[in-house]
Homo-oligomer: A and B are copies of this chain.
Amino acid sequence: MKATIKDIAQAAGVSPSTVSRVLSNHPRISAETAQRVRAIMREMRYQPNQLARSLVSRKRTIIAVVLPSTAETSLSDPFFYDVLRGISVGASQEEYHVLLSTGAAPKAEGAKLEELMHSGIVGGAILLTSKVQDATVQALLEDRFPFVVLGHPDQDTQIHWVDNDNIAAGCAVTEHVLARGRRRVAFIGLDAHYRVTADRCAGYHLAHERAGLSPARAHVLEMPYASTRVSPERLRALFSGKDRPDAAVCTNDLIALEMMRDLAALGLRVPEDVAVVGFNNLQAGRYSAPPLTTVEIDAEGLGRSAFRLLLGAMEHPKGGAARQLIPFQLIERGSVG
């Protein structure tokens, strides 16, 4: 049987309260007693029961990370994995634990989180769902449950968030290709429902504006967020005619990689005929032919910051909403030339 606080108390000839106070470094405990109790705890390999502890103290040492409802897809996007690493590293430094909550459950994403918070297991949450589910968020706000979202929300309310400056990033890559003389730059993968893609596309427009240019309407290709491949017909349509793009800014690396493959099949060379850039700096981009120019968005940094913010929110429940932009970095490789 595992040792409890009572066992320690008995062995040390003090009351459980005293042991408890030793545990929490209460100032009114004499150095002598503290030392003796600590020795016994070590000797008996005592570990306080977190359940009992949290039950009465209302302090939670576990935080939840909520992945988008379609766990199948989300967990297969390495981006989330990197974020997770950032969170996890931060958390373990502060003696917090990370609980994974995938929405792939019988229950809906939101319901699951509400269960998690009401059941007292977790003390805060980080939402990795780029498309902020209003119902859930509202419920969290009402219950004053500490949480941070990744990706900044549409209306800026009282919520904590971290994100990249996707407009600036979109602008930077577009300027990069414009600076290399490309004049018919396409944007691939806009999905207005998702802030990430919308912002990157806005940056794309901004860059044109600054350069006194205006991109062709047909050169902005919308596609659903989850899909990674432009259909062959659309691709052929886009890249035929004399006004065909000589560059493509893709909202993510996966789209870019698929496109490079398909362009080759169409007899177009990268980067000679078409320059291609992506976002997220996937590992795969390093090994493609040519290697993919992309944007490192520092997903791990996003995760770390998200955790820091959450920690703040948990410790100071009435603090104002904090937000943080994580710097990105253009990674030049062969696909632009």
Residues of A in contact with B (beta carbons under 8 Å apart): 2, 45, 47-52, 54-55, 62, 71-72, 75-76, 78, 81-82, 84-85, 88-89, 92-93, 95, 97-102, 104-106, 112, 114-116, 118-121, 257, 260-261, 282-289
Residue of B at shortest CB range from A98?
Answer: B100
In the bound assembly, the distance between CA atoms of A283 and B253 in angstroms comes to 12
Cross-chain contact A119 with B50 (CB below 8 angstroms): yes
The listed residue (B51, B78, B99, B261) touching A100 by CB distance below 8 A is B99
The listed residue (B55, B85, B104, B288) touching A51 by CB distance below 8 A is B55
A100 surroundings in chain B (CB, below 8 A): 84, 88, 97-100
Cross-chain contact A51 with B93 (CB below 8 angstroms): no
Residue of B at shortest CB range from A88?
Answer: B102
A71 surroundings in chain B (CB, below 8 A): 85, 88-89, 92
A285 surroundings in chain B (CB, below 8 A): 287
In the bound assembly, the distance between CA atoms of A100 and B65 in angstroms comes to 10
A283 surroundings in chain B (CB, below 8 A): 78, 282-284
Cross-chain contact A51 with B54 (CB below 8 angstroms): yes
A120 surroundings in chain B (CB, below 8 A): 49-52
Cross-chain contact A118 with B47 (CB below 8 angstroms): yes
Q: Supply 29 A–B pairs (Cβ within 8 Å), ascending by A.
A: A45-B118, A47-B115, A47-B118, A50-B121, A51-B55, A52-B120, A55-B55, A62-B99, A72-B89, A75-B81, A75-B84, A75-B85, A76-B85, A78-B283, A81-B81, A88-B100, A89-B102, A89-B104, A92-B102, A93-B104, A93-B105, A97-B99, A99-B99, A99-B100, A100-B100, A282-B284, A283-B283, A283-B284, A284-B287
A75 surroundings in chain B (CB, below 8 A): 81, 84-85, 88
A98 surroundings in chain B (CB, below 8 A): 99-100
In the bound assembly, the distance between CA atoms of A98 and B93 in angstroms comes to 19
In the bound assembly, the distance between CA atoms of A286 and B92 in angstroms comes to 34
In the bound assembly, the distance between CA atoms of A286 and B228 in angstroms comes to 14
The 8 closest A-B pairs by CB, nearest first: A289-B289, A47-B118, A284-B284, A50-B119, A75-B85, A92-B105, A287-B288, A98-B100
For the complex with contacts A75-B85, A81-B81, 4 further pairs of A-B residues with Cβ separation under 8 Å are: A49-B55, A84-B100, A88-B104, A289-B289
